[in-house]
Amino acid sequence: MTRERVGIIIRDTTDPDLPAMLAMINAEIADSPYIYAETPVTLDQRRAWLAALRSANLPALVAAEI
């Protein structure tokens, strides 16, 4: 049996990453006691979040398979 190795990179978040991030965040909001939010986040809210980080020159990072 052989296993394919998968690598992970840490990179800047891009706009195409937002739908996957949104799905993860909203799943945690719905099911986790560790996030203090009661309503799901919208894609427009996530876009505004990313824009605010960029304008403040703050990082928004994702881990991605290569």
> Is residue 62 within 8 Å of residue 17, measured between CB atoms?
yes
Residue-wise pLDDT tens digits, 1-58? 677 778 999 999 999 999 999 999 999 999 998 988 899 999 999 999 999 999 999 9
The predicted pLDDT at position 6 comes to: 80
Q: What are the residue ranges of helices labelled H in the chain?
A: 18-31, 43-55
- Band of pLDDT at residue 63, cut at 50, 70 and 90: very high
d(CA 40, CA 37): 8
d(CA 11, CA 8): 10
The predicted pLDDT at position 1 comes to: 63
d(CA 44, CA 22): 10
The predicted pLDDT at position 36 comes to: 87
